[in-house]
Structure 1
Amino acid sequence: MLSVTDLMPTSTNSADSSPTADTGMSRGHYRRMSSFNREFPDIPVLQFDSKGDKLDPDKPKLRIRTLTWNIAGHQPKEDLTDVLGLAPERESTPDGSASSSADIVNEGKPEADLIAIGFQELSASPAAPVMESVIMSEIWTTTLKKRMSSQDYVLLQSIRLQGIVLFVFSKSRHLKYVRYMDTAYLRLGASGWWGNKGAVGISFEIYDVTLCFVNSHLSPHDHAFKDRVKNHRQILRDMVFVGGRTDTSCILEHDYAVWLGDFNFRIEGISQDKTLHYIESQKWPQLLKHDQLHRAAFVEGAFSTFQEGKIEFPPTYKFVTGTSIYDTRNPAKIRRPSYCDRILWRTRTDARKAALIEYTSHMNHQISDHKPVTAVLEIALGSEQEQYVVFDPIDRWFVGQHGYFRYSAKPGTFYSAWDWIGLYKASYTSFDEYVTYVWSPGASEENLGCINGRYVLKPGRYLLVYFSSEHKCGIGFSEIFEIVSA
């Protein structure tokens, strides 16, 4: 495990600055790297090589899968089964048996309850037209929704800042326990005027805990270390969630926060040849001693109170696109392979527990000069919350006829004239896919509503969703019912 003590010199002689045997870096360099820990001993530094907490096996848990990937302006041309942690898609064979075009890498693993996906560089060039990012976002959104819906995931929320986009998908059974949905973004490019660099965030409450996901793309290039540290501080200070709970307006106020993205921290202080040697011999601890994120943590206090899992995979940048070969073609523009793509997490108090299940990269993907990185966490929950809105069972409706429904609201439920009730196909993939909707007639203990028959056109399986303008999400879901031909 690489910790502060690992970075301290073995000798107390300050005049001894000879290179260490395995890194070529001076002991004085290690001494400087521990300066934040000495100056602020009561503030925990970023904890590396963490496995998180031990969870009580008898208490409810939520499994969260996270993915970060700088896609360098490319479309989804590869099978995403492994990075999304999904069961393989099955195809029928001539003999009627099922087969899969994907490696069966996820069979036998528990499915995630939530999946957070962060992409960077939807458009590869900072100067690319804004519409290019919009088009690429639509392409990736459509692909993800189609693939995720086959495993009963619904897009809970998404947010995009130029080429930086964040999606959160949820198993449909959890949707009725989501509250106080909110999003935020922060531009960091061109002194805050341009969004090619920056961060986006999604905040919400689920069951009895508050969650925050942040996807960031920090300043590039080896020499911009100080800029990246500054970026991190700006995000913590200036990214504010104004439409959710009043007690979770910033990242650190959430029970659980997951921060992922292309942080752009590089390997420094060793040659490209030495870097490649460490990679070929899989000497990850030696390589990580030259990782700028470690220096940012121990010298600058960056990402203090966050944790990162043990890295036991090769650097994820920079590759020749279409291969798994590091790009060393241009001697005049040397880019040492680096761990640019990271996933960190934190818990607000000791009462909140999170365990790291998996932290890995996926070297088989070749559409970008970055490789995707995923992490799987389990977080502890308390008790289930009472639903705000409950629909009475619906037997069936008939095509072309008015559909009547009844629902009740929990006492004290906030009601707005902007609340609405949507009719959805049972196969819906996001809240914007309603067939039709009506404005909510109220949120009292007994409410009666009606969907106009002129919009009930096709037989099939449907459900109703009560969408709250205060919570910015559905807070009531009917059971699935049939609409049949009259």
Structure 2
Amino acid sequence: MPENRRQAEVLWPRLVANKLFRKPSGSHAFVADFPMAAEHDDFDQFDGGAAPAAEFVDDDCSPDADADSCRRVKRPWPRQRENKTLKYRLFTSTWNVGGVAPPDDLDLADCLDTRNAAYDIYVLGFQEVVPLSARNVLGADKKRVGMRWNELIRAALNRSSAAPPSSHDQRDAKGGGGETTRQGPQKVHPVRRDGGGAELARDYRCVVSKQMVGILLTVWVRGDLSRFVRHASVSCVGCGVMGCLGNKGAVSVRFRLHDTSFCFVCCHLASGGRDGDEAHRNSDATEILSRTTFPRGHSLNLPRKILHHDRVILLGDLNYRISLPEAKTRLLVERQDWKALLEYDQLRSEVVSEGGAFRGWSEGAVTFSPTYKYYPNSDTYCGGGGGAQGRRKGEKRRAPAWCDRILWRGEGVKQKQYDRCESRLSDHRPVRAVFDVEAEAEAEAPRNLNSLRSFFMSERFDGARSAAADLLRKDDYTSSSSARFGDTM
């Protein structure tokens, strides 16, 4: 024990210095179920069973590497490409769990909607997975808590369901931008059935899981879709104490699905309900968008900034409040007059106003109750209700607000659902959104090229090559014989 204490005392200044000077200590390392395939590889990714989560580092070409060294890679033979548009269903969720460790019997099936539908991609963001104490902020990340959340997510996603799931049919994607309709059960890729028709377990795999202090962002895809996910990488930006510690900030994930770049940002912005606190949140958002930088990777056409990606979704505890007196806010909440409340919603103002921090982003219609702040294990907002549920001694004033939000930007993204869940684990309610997203993919080669390729790769080509070789040998023998006969004459 004394030896461990002395070791901690030695490491403590180093950890503080790394965080204060924004040294990216392991900021590009993440956890995944399988390694990413390199761009332009002619082989598929590892496609075995669900392997134990491993840690990978995207450091093929660091952001500061010489550009010429990144160009010295094998390029494919140029060919004319024809693209097609594929549509996928994307499930996103954000939840501030208030530093409460997940109980062993926590069932995420309802929050992830696994009993009613199966989606192609799941993007799940959490805030305060650990209490934001000085030890957790300045010390090493408590990865064991993040691993526990991933275990619960894996159990919920890969559990078979008796209810007929509903999802898009990949064959129906014809490249259009129209909305899809849900008209009864459709084909669902991750659900397999045995010879008797019984449903087998679903197969979802973790693409990326990254934790920074209390912020956890984890991305899951169908097992058969994982081979098309390439160049996954992460970037962490701390905006907390002294503007650099990770008690506030964002974890961002990017990858390419087929030929389309996706970026997901999980934020926890500055808190506070006093006048002027929204300026701190705006500053955090600006810092995150400007400081987030992804590794270059092998290919120079990979976007490095958040806004440079084709499809971007930002979620998290953004902490924006309602600019009304507390009594007025509670009255409108009791009346469920969401339209009147949203006129004073700080985030909505930043989205629609000229020069707002989120100008150019989109958000679906908010038709659910404010998600903050509840008494834990209760449906009562803090400070409301009177009596035993009234404001307690020493309790801070916290009016209800929509702190937990999901925004997006980019073409090829259409929101189909936006609501909240009713888990009582923390003082926040989870918020989820479902999107139809488009991804560009290279179409199959023309039929004549496929036929030519199959011929050269088949035994027929070997036979023809052997016959041609025999004929050449025969011609050589005849020519040499004729020459010798001429010399003899």
Q: Where on the TM-score scale, by shorter chain, does this alignment land: which range?
A: 0.5 to 0.7
Unaligned runs of 5+ in 2: 1-83, 160-201, 384-390, 446-489
Within the candidate set 177, 180, 195, 2:228 is matched to 177
State the AA in 1 paired with 2:427: D
Within the candidate set 236, 241, 247, 1:196 is matched to 247
SS of 1:274's equivalent in the other structure is helix
Within the candidate set 333, 343, 346, 2:409 is matched to 346
State the AA in 1 paired with 2:402: Y
State the AA in 2 paired with 1:234: E
1:60 has 2:86 as partner: yes
Give the corresponding residue for 2:436.
Answer: 378
Q: Relative to 1, partners in 2 of residues 1:173 and 1:386: Cα closer, same or farther, differing over 3 Å?
A: farther
TM-score (norm 1): 0.59
1:122 has 2:133 as partner: no
State the AA in 2 paired with 1:82: D
- How far has the Cα of 1:181 moved from its partner? 1.1
Give the corresponding residue for 1:460.
Answer: none
Equivalent runs, 1:283-302 vs 2, <5 Å? 283-297=337-351, 298=353, 300-302=355-357
CA deviations on 1:299-318 (whole Å, 9 max, x unpaired) are 64111211000000010000
Within the candidate set 395, 400, 404, 1:337 is matched to 400
State the AA in 1 paired with 2:272: H
- How far has the Cα of 1:330 moved from its partner? 4.1
Give the corresponding residue for 1:313.
Answer: 368
Give the corresponding residue for 1:432.
Answer: none
- For residues 208 and 366 of structure 1, the distance between their equivalents in structure 2, rounded to whole angstroms, comes to 40
> In 2, are the aligned partners of 1:182 and 1:243 still within 8 Å (CA)?
no
> In 2, are the aligned partners of 1:229 and 1:300 still within 8 Å (CA)?
no
TM-score (norm 2): 0.59
1:269 has 2:324 as partner: yes
SS of 2:329's equivalent in the other structure is helix
CA deviations on 1:308-353 (whole Å, 9 max, x unpaired) are 0000001000000011110012486211100100000110xxxx32
- For residues 180 and 128 of structure 1, the distance between their equivalents in structure 2, rounded to whole angstroms, comes to 33
1:322 has 2:377 as partner: yes
State the AA in 2 paired with 1:275: T
State the AA in 1 paired with 2:358: F
Q: Relative to 1, partners in 2 of residues 1:132 and 1:288: Cα closer, same or farther, differing over 3 Å?
A: same
Give the corresponding residue for 2:270.
Answer: 219
Within the candidate set 272, 277, 292, 1:239 is matched to 292
Q: Relative to 1, partners in 2 of residues 1:117 and 1:177: Cα closer, same or farther, differing over 3 Å?
A: same
Q: How many residues are treated as equivalent by the alignment? A: 303
Unaligned runs of 5+ in 1: 1-57, 88-105, 388-486
CA deviations on 1:261-320 (whole Å, 9 max, x unpaired) are 0001011223x2322221222211101112111233326411121100000001000000
CA deviations on 1:340-394 (whole Å, 9 max, x unpaired) are 00000110xxxx32211100011x200000000000000123335789xxxxxxx
Q: Relative to 1, partners in 2 of residues 1:321 and 1:300: Cα closer, same or farther, differing over 3 Å?
A: farther
1:230 has 2:283 as partner: yes
- For residues 242 and 342 of structure 1, the distance between their equivalents in structure 2, rounded to whole angstroms, comes to 27
> In 1, are the aligned partners of 2:141 and 2:212 still within 8 Å (CA)?
no
State the AA in 2 paired with 1:311: V
Which has the larger helix fraction?
Answer: 2
Give the corresponding residue for 2:96.
Answer: 70
Within the candidate set 132, 136, 146, 2:145 is matched to 136
Give the corresponding residue for 1:146.
Answer: 155
CA deviations on 1:228-259 (whole Å, 9 max, x unpaired) are 00111111110001144544100111110000
Give the corresponding residue for 2:111.
Answer: 83
- For residues 131 and 326 of structure 1, the distance between their equivalents in structure 2, rounded to whole angstroms, comes to 34
State the AA in 2 paired with 1:67: S
> In 2, are the aligned partners of 1:148 and 1:154 still within 8 Å (CA)?
no
> In 2, are the aligned partners of 1:208 and 1:385 still within 8 Å (CA)?
no
- How far has the Cα of 1:69 moved from its partner? 0.2
RMSD: 2.1
SS of 1:194's equivalent in the other structure is coil
